[in-house]
Structure 1
Amino acid sequence: MTRQEKGLWATVIVLTACVLGMGGWMLFSGNFPQEASPPWKEGSQPVASIQDRAITEDEWVDELKKRYGREMLMTMLNRHAVALEAKAKGIDVTAAEVETEIEVMSRSYGSKERFLSEMEDQLGITESELKTETTYRLLLEKIATSDVHIEEQQIDSYLEQYPDQFRPKKQLNLSMIEVASEDEAERVMDRLENGEDFADLAAQVSLDEYTREDGGQIGLVEEDDPFLPPALLEAALSLEPGDIAGPVSLTDTYAIVYVKDIIEPQAPSEESIRKAVRKQLALEQSVSLSELERQLREKYEARISAGTVTL
Structure 2
Amino acid sequence: MTRQEKGLWATVIVLTAGVIFMGSWMLFSGGGSIEGIKQFKGTSPAVASVQDKAITEDEWVGELKKRYGRDVLMTMLNRRAVALEASGRGLDISEAELEAEFERMSRSYGSKERFVAEMESQLGIPEEELRHETVYRLLLEKIATADIEIDQHQIDEYLKLHPDQYRPKKQVDISVIEVATLDEAEQVLDRLEHGENFADLAQEVSIDEYTRDYGGRIGLVEEDDPFQSQALLETATLLEAGDIAGPIRLEDTYGIVYVHDVIEPPTLSEESIREAVRKQLALQQAVSLSELEQQLREKYEAKIFAGVLP
> TM-score, normalized by length of structure 2?
0.87
Trace 1:160-239 onto structure 2 (pairs within 5 A). 160-239=160-239
Structure 1 residue matching 2:211: 3-state secondary structure: helix
Cα contact 1:178–1:254 (8 A) shared by 2 = yes
Specify the alignment match of 2:43 in structure 1.
42
Any stretches of 5+ residues in structure 1 without a counterpart?
24-37
Specify the alignment match of 2:147 in structure 1.
147
Cα contact 1:144–1:283 (8 A) shared by 2 = yes
* Residues 215-270 of structure 1: per-residue CA shift (max 9 Å, x gap): 21111011111211233222222322222122223333322111111100001111
- The residue identity in structure 1 corresponding to 2:292 is L
* Structure 1 residue 130, shift from structure 2 partner: 0.7
User: What fraction of aligned residue pairs are identical, expressed as a percent?
Assistant: 64
**Structure 1 residues 22, 87: CA separation in 2 closer, same or farther (over 3 Å shift)?**
closer
**Structure 1 residues 6, 212: CA separation in 2 closer, same or farther (over 3 Å shift)?**
closer
Once residues 74 and 282 of structure 2 are traced to their aligned partners in structure 1, the CA distance between those partners, rounded to angstroms, is 26
Trace 1:205-284 onto structure 2 (pairs within 5 A). 205-284=205-284
* Structure 1 residue 185, shift from structure 2 partner: 1.4
Specify the alignment match of 1:13 in structure 2.
12
Once residues 2 and 222 of structure 2 are traced to their aligned partners in structure 1, the CA distance between those partners, rounded to angstroms, is 20
**Structure 1 residues 248, 102: CA separation in 2 closer, same or farther (over 3 Å shift)?**
same
Cα contact 1:20–1:124 (8 A) shared by 2 = no
Cα contact 1:201–1:215 (8 A) shared by 2 = yes
Once residues 81 and 141 of structure 1 are traced to their aligned partners in structure 2, the CA distance between those partners, rounded to angstroms, is 14
**Structure 1 residues 53, 42: CA separation in 2 closer, same or farther (over 3 Å shift)?**
closer
Specify the alignment match of 1:31 in structure 2.
none
> TM-score, normalized by length of structure 1?
0.87
Cα contact 1:81–1:300 (8 A) shared by 2 = yes
> Is 2:294 the partner of 1:294?
yes
Structure 2 residue matching 1:258: 3-state secondary structure: strand
* Residues 269-301 of structure 1: per-residue CA shift (max 9 Å, x gap): 111111111111111112211111010000111
Cα contact 2:244–2:257 (8 A) shared by 1 = yes
Cα contact 1:185–1:254 (8 A) shared by 2 = yes
* Structure 1 residue 41, shift from structure 2 partner: 5.9
* Structure 1 residue 108, shift from structure 2 partner: 1.5
Trace 1:77-156 onto structure 2 (pairs within 5 A). 77-156=77-156
Which range moved further: 216-225 or 204-213? 204-213
Structure 2 residue matching 1:178: 3-state secondary structure: strand
Specify the alignment match of 2:70 in structure 1.
70
Once residues 116 and 193 of structure 1 are traced to their aligned partners in structure 2, the CA distance between those partners, rounded to angstroms, is 36
- The residue identity in structure 1 corresponding to 2:237 is L
C-alpha RMSD of the superposition? 2.5
* Structure 1 residue 96, shift from structure 2 partner: 2.3
Q: Which has the higher contact order (CA 8 A, sep 6+)?
A: 1
* Structure 1 residue 146, shift from structure 2 partner: 1.1
- The residue identity in structure 2 corresponding to 1:246 is G
Once residues 21 and 224 of structure 1 are traced to their aligned partners in structure 2, the CA distance between those partners, rounded to angstroms, is 39
Specify the alignment match of 2:29 in structure 1.
none
Once residues 2 and 300 of structure 2 are traced to their aligned partners in structure 1, the CA distance between those partners, rounded to angstroms, is 27
Cα contact 1:232–1:257 (8 A) shared by 2 = yes
**Structure 1 residues 152, 182: CA separation in 2 closer, same or farther (over 3 Å shift)?**
same
Once residues 229 and 53 of structure 2 are traced to their aligned partners in structure 1, the CA distance between those partners, rounded to angstroms, is 53
**Structure 1 residues 2, 219: CA separation in 2 closer, same or farther (over 3 Å shift)?**
closer
Which range moved further: 65-74 or 79-88? 65-74
* Residues 65-124 of structure 1: per-residue CA shift (max 9 Å, x gap): 112211221111111100011111111112222122111111111111111111111111
Cα contact 1:17–1:123 (8 A) shared by 2 = no
- The residue identity in structure 2 corresponding to 1:93 is I
Once residues 305 and 244 of structure 1 are traced to their aligned partners in structure 2, the CA distance between those partners, rounded to angstroms, is 64
Cα contact 1:172–1:259 (8 A) shared by 2 = yes
Cα contact 2:235–2:245 (8 A) shared by 1 = yes
- The residue identity in structure 1 corresponding to 2:44 is G
* Structure 1 residue 213, shift from structure 2 partner: 2.6
Cα contact 2:44–2:57 (8 A) shared by 1 = no
Structure 2 residue matching 1:302: 3-state secondary structure: coil
- The residue identity in structure 2 corresponding to 1:83 is A
